[in-house]
Amino acid sequence: MQLVIGNKNYSSWSMRPWVLLKQAGIAFDEVKIRFDGFAPDSKFKTDLARVTPAGRVPVLIDDDLTVWDTLAIAEYVAEKFPAKRLWPQDMKTRARARSVCAEMHSGFGALRNHFPMNVEAALPEVGARVLAEHAAVRSDVERVLGMWAVLLDAYGGPLLFGEFSIVDAYFAPVVMRLKTYGVLVPPKIASYMQRVTELPGVAAWMDDALAECDFLDFEEPYRSRA
């Protein structure tokens, strides 16, 4: 299999399936297409058009099959490798896990827009200002933290549904955002975030992101240089 991704420092959607595959020990070849802009004539869009008409990363290629969209990729991988138990085994628990992933997939627009992923950066002053000025961001953060607290209580940790699952891969970019923008969280949530960053798959992504040294001004609403 091949997984087509964008820059690791910035591409939160690419991070989800990459971490899922890496953490689960599923072999794949990484194909990175560097962001250089998102205009139709950019090299990124031109190169990506050869892979998928959707024009976005990530994309999973398995022989003659192309799967785009993170949820579709996660579902495909879970079905292809059932022994990896990437979703919870209990039917009702699995439905709950799918629900929280779907909520992340379609919601939290204010959090994503005002706290873009930037693994390399440390912007606590920006985080404090954004939270003070934007009620929608505060609401999104409160919902995420509340959700995590409920799941950690319900399933006993150490991760959201006990053992590593698609859900933890799905929320790994949110952990990156909260760290970058210095969002203050309760001790239980801080411990969960630390466990996520210590997962080998997440740690490998972070190391690669830091090694890119590829400052892209169009991905940097809060800085003019690294």
In the structure encoding, which two tokens stand for residue 71, read together?
């949820």
Domain, as residue range, for 46:
2-84
Last residue in a domain, options 84, 114, 138: 84
Residue 152 is assigned to a structural domain of this protein: yes
User: In terms of domains, do 51 and 24 share one?
Assistant: yes
pLDDT band at 125 (very low <50, low <70, confident <90, very high): very high
pLDDT (0 to 100) of residue 26: 98
Task: Answer whether 0.85 is exceeded by the pTM.
Answer: yes
In the structure encoding, which two tokens stand for residue 145, read together?
């933290």
Q: Which residue is associated with the tokens 């609403």?
A: 221
Average per-residue pLDDT for the chain: 97
Domain count, the chain: 2
Dump pLDDT digits (tens) for 206-221.
Answer: 999 999 999 999 999 9
User: Do β-strands 29-32 and 2-5 pair in parallel, antiparallel, or remain unpaired?
Assistant: parallel
Q: Which residue is associated with the tokens 């800085």?
A: 223
Query: What radius of gyration, in Å, describes the C-alpha atoms of the chain?
Result: 17
For the residues 139-153, what does the mean pLDDT come to? 98
Residue 63's domain is classified under what CATH number? 3.40.30.10
Residue 221 is assigned to a structural domain of this protein: no
User: In terms of domains, do 102 and 154 share one?
Assistant: yes
pLDDT (0 to 100) of residue 103: 98
3-state secondary structure 25-75: CCCCEEEECCCCCCCCCCHHHHHHHCCCCCCCCCEEEECCEEEECHHHHHH
User: In terms of domains, do 77 and 111 share one?
Assistant: no
User: In terms of domains, do 101 and 182 share one?
Assistant: yes
pLDDT (0 to 100) of residue 73: 98
User: In terms of domains, do 79 and 113 share one?
Assistant: no
Task: Name which of 77, 134, 82 is nearest 111 in CA terms.
Answer: 134
Dump pLDDT digits (tens) for 158-182.
Answer: 999 999 999 999 999 999 999 999 9
Dump pLDDT digits (tens) for 7-27.
Answer: 999 999 999 999 999 999 999
Q: Which residues, 6 or more positions from 78, have their beta carbon under 8 angstroms from its beta carbon?
A: 84, 86, 87, 166
Q: Which helix (H) or strand (E) holds 139?
A: helix 135-155
pLDDT (0 to 100) of residue 142: 98
User: In terms of domains, do 108 and 146 share one?
Assistant: yes
